[in-house]
Amino acid sequence: MKIEQRDLPEKVSVAIVGAGPVGLMAANLLGTYGICTLIIDRNPTTMDIPRAIAIDDEGARTLQATGLDRDFMPHTVPAGGARYYDHDGVPFAEVGAPPPEFGFPRRNYFFQPEMERVLAEGLARFEHVTLAFNANLWRFSSDEDGVTLEIDGSVRVRADYLIAADGANSSIRETLGLAMEGDTYPQDWLVVDTENDPDPEPVSKFFCRSDRPFVSIPAPRGGRRYEFQLQTGERAEDMVAPARVREFLAPLRSLADEDLIRITVYTFQARIAARFSVGRVFLAGDAAHLTPPFAGQGMNSGLRDAHNISWKLAAVLAGQADPTLLDSYDLERRGPAWAMVQLAVAMGEIIMPQAREDIDFRNGILRQFERFPQARDFIINMKFKPRPHYSGGPFVDLHTQSFAGSLVGAMLPQVELDAAASDAARMDDALGDGFVLLAQAPDTVHFMAQNQEALWPELRPVPVLLGDAMVPGGVTRLIPRSGLALAAVRAHRDQILLIRPDRYVAAAFWPDDAMAAVAAFRAHLRPCQDA
């Protein structure tokens, strides 16, 4: 796939370096928000080989915010769960696919070149977004008013802000002098992507062997990904030979040359940048954090970065918030990104202990959990995975909610809608791309309709009733279907929720507290005015 390169603009609001999934997602989000954006990449086109292989429900929801989920998600394979095998090939633990909470299956396998193609072609919708391949950032400089990029040695572009999505070896991060903190795994892993695999199960299989742990992961197009841990002394250049790969795969499948998509060796790292932003420059994706693959969260963490910084940049550039709002990007994203790195490390400890006593201990613990289903379910279903929740940032009464089920600071579950009463099947499709005021009770929706313009003139939130009742003019009515997501939202049935563009709940308040909630949230957006 090829995108024609247009003349580069001299001035943009946001420049993005790196046209991988994270950079392309940010560009689509900014395009959706109406922000003049330039995205460049030194490569001639999008990637033609897979790297990331799974997009989770949060990542799919971010894709939904760009309107491209309908083009891409039908090409994915929903995960059917995971199965763990001991050294002798005997299954010792299995988990099915949990129910959806954010509108999509929890884990979906995909072909990365297809995703990048959809994202790149999606930018053609926006006259105010320029995508340029074969464009290499030579250097950049920033000051208190913006960032100047020198591209290919002769082209200068001025941007208000810069997003560095230029990967693990980010030259922008290096120029900023930001260290990567953490560890590098001592073992390399051989990664083999195949087609025409005889194993049709949409199940990830973890072979926790003492001699050579390996993983078999479903992929679209009838393929699978295999990952084998290399041993000390095994050289990468020897291991990638097709004949050697066939030896690895022999117990699982035969392999014709045409079935091989990619063979490579990775060194897994668990690292995070000391800061995610310096002045007007923001790191995202692998430029900010490097995650072992065991939890499938590397790219997905990057997509969370993209959504978080994109809506905040749009709010600042549209005059809805002071630039100080951008300080919350590092505050909100760095901690959760590191939590996902640690989750992947913990998963790796389950998959690849090599000392026999460690393996026996792990297997014994998991088998003992058969007597305690709730404890076993907690471990095997990865319920220790950090929830999409921020412990700081632009939220109201984050620590003073009166009930444990409060969604303030958390991602709003995506409720399924009654298809007979709505054109949309998922709630987000009816919410627009900005702020939302969500009510569930008739009295609160009438208050909201009468006061929302006066209370929130700068945000222009969309007023929505989630329920089957008559609504005033200008209010969108959504009739929900029952389910896990609706049950969580019902905890706030008598309150009004202020929803951010990234679908996190910024505030929950009763009508009598509306003025106080407005003042508190405005203090996050415009602290200089309220000082």
Q: Tens digit of pLDDT for each residue in 484-499?
A: 788 889 889 899 999 9
Same fold yes or no, 11-337 and 419-530: no
Q: Using CA atoms, how far apart are residues 477 and 491, in angstroms rounded to an integer?
A: 19
- Residue 226's H or E segment, with its range, is strand 223-229
Residue 295, pLDDT above cutoff 70: no
Contact between 25 and 119 (Cβ < 8 Å): yes
Between the CA of residue 488 and those of 359, 453, 480, what are the distances in Å? 38, 28, 13
State the first-to-last Cα distance of the chain, in angstroms, to the nearest integer: 52
Contact between 272 and 182 (Cβ < 8 Å): yes
pLDDT of 445 reads: 87
Residue ranges per structural domain of the chain: 11-337, 419-530
Nearest alpha-carbon partner for 197 in 177, 215, 180, 221: 221
Nearest alpha-carbon partner for 131 in 19, 284, 22, 286: 19
Residue 460, pLDDT above cutoff 50: yes
Q: Which amino acid is it at 362? A: R
Residue 11, pLDDT above cutoff 80: yes
pLDDT of 383 reads: 60
pLDDT of 2 reads: 39
| Token pair 């999008």 in the structure block, residue | 46
pTM of the model: 0.92
pLDDT in tens, 35-63: 999 999 999 999 988 889 999 999 999 99
pLDDT of 4 reads: 45
Look at 21-30, 322-331, 396-405 and tell me which has the smallest mean pLDDT: 396-405
pLDDT of 355 reads: 65
Please provide the DSSP assignment of 184-220 as one string: EEEEEEEEEEESS-S-----EEEE--SS--EEEEEET
CATH topology of domain 419-530: Glutaredoxin (3.40.30)
**Alpha helix stretches (DSSP H) within 318-355:** 328-351
Q: Using CA atoms, how far apart are residues 471 and 442, in angstroms rounded to an integer?
A: 8
Q: What average pLDDT is seen over the chain? A: 88
At 231, is the pLDDT very low, low, confident or very high (cuts 50, 70, 90)? confident
Give the whole-number percent of the chain exceeding pLDDT 70.
Answer: 89
DSSP-assigned beta bridge partners for residue 14: 37, 161
Q: Using CA atoms, how far apart are residues 197 and 365, in angstroms rounded to an integer?
A: 33
CATH class of the domain whose range is 11-337: alpha beta
pLDDT of 380 reads: 56
Q: Using CA atoms, how far apart are residues 343 and 328, in angstroms rounded to an integer?
A: 23
- Written as six digits, the tokens of 70 are 């309908």
pLDDT in tens, 112-135: 999 999 999 999 999 999 999 999
At 33, is the pLDDT very low, low, confident or very high (cuts 50, 70, 90)? very high
pLDDT in tens, 361-391: 766 666 666 666 666 566 555 565 677 889 8
Give the gyration radius of the chain's Cα atoms: 24
Between the CA of residue 260 and those of 177, 199, 320, what are the distances in Å? 40, 15, 51
Q: By CB neighbour count within 10 A (0-12 exposed, 13-18 middle, 19+ buried), where does 22 fall?
A: buried
The CB density around residue 156, as the number of other CB atoms within 10 Å, is: 10
**pLDDT greater at residue 88 or residue 331:** 331
Q: Using CA atoms, how far apart are residues 288 and 294, in angstroms rounded to an integer?
A: 18
| Token pair 């945000």 in the structure block, residue | 459
What DSSP character marks residue 426? B
